[in-house]
């Protein structure tokens, strides 16, 4: 941590679990990181969430800080990655909602209207039960808990590439299961709802 000599002692103390050093770092960087996050997210609540999450993760991984790492650059890089993940997840949710609405509008006919949401969910749930346990676990962590591939990899102690492979194969299996169910309009709607 030699690149930031003034902060060297503070960061070193923090790295060894000194809560006072953590509080000083929080006070020093909170405002800068908040403004940085706000410039991307345009929401005070989301920017505050990002900063809070960043400091929680920083505390949890304090022992992993590198000796020669520029602390400022490290904080802002981690913050930027967290912001970009949040933006990407928001875009995915928005695209999914738009896709669902579009599918409903396109496929709104008497046959589709007669099939209830519970029936859609039952078909989807059956497709999930056909997945191997690990693939299902990775898929659910991604789709239901909203974890990023990196977070899933860390949680399950597997590589990010392995997570990606599981997700791709899970989606393919679910789609294949849905293809066996019959009506093309129903398959399209279910794919858009749950993929």
Q: Which residues lie below 8 Å from residue 8, measured CB to CB, with a gap of 6+?
A: 1, 2
Name the pTM for this structure.
0.47
Strands (E), 35-177: none
Vertex 27 angle, CA 23 and 31, to 5°: 145
Along the 195 residues of the chain, how does pLDDT read in single tens digits? 344 444 568 888 888 888 999 999 999 999 999 999 989 888 898 889 889 989 988 888 888 887 667 888 888 888 998 888 888 877 766 766 666 666 555 555 444 445 556 666 777 788 888 899 999 999 889 888 888 889 999 999 999 889 989 888 888 887 777 666 544 555 565 555 555
Is 3.40.640.10 the CATH classification of the domain at 108-194?
Answer: no
Is residue 81 within 8 A of residue 14, CB to CB? The reply is: no
Q: Which CATH class is domain 5-86?
A: mainly alpha
Q: Determine if residue 109 is left, alpha or beta; phi over 0 gives left, psi from -120 to 50 gives alpha, anything else beta.
A: beta
Domain ranges of the chain: 5-86, 108-194
């Amino acid at each position: 941590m030699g690149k930031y000599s003034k902060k060297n002692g503070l960061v070193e103390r923090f790295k060894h679990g000194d809560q006072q050093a953590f509080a000083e770092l929080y006070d020093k960087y909170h405002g800068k990181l908040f403004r940085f996050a706000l410039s991307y997210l345009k929401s005070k609540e989301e920017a505050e969430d990002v900063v809070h999450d960043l400091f929680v993760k920083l505390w949890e991984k304090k022992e992993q800080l590198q000796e020669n790492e520029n602390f400022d650059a490290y904080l802002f890089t981690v913050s930027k990655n967290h912001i970009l993940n949040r933006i990407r997840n928001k875009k995915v949710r928005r695209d999914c909602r738009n896709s669902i609405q579009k599918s409903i509008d396109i496929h709104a006919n008497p046959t589709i209207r007669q099939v209830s949401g519970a029936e859609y969910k039952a078909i989807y749930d059956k497709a999930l039960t056909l997945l191997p346990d690990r693939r299902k676990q990775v898929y659910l962590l991604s789709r239901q808990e909203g974890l990023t591939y990196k977070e899933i990899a860390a949680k399950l102690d597997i590589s990010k590439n392995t997570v990606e492979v599981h997700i791709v194969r899970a989606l393919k299996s679910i789609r294949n299961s849905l293809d066996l169910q019959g009506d093309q309009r129903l398959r399209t709607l279910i794919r858009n709802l749950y993929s």
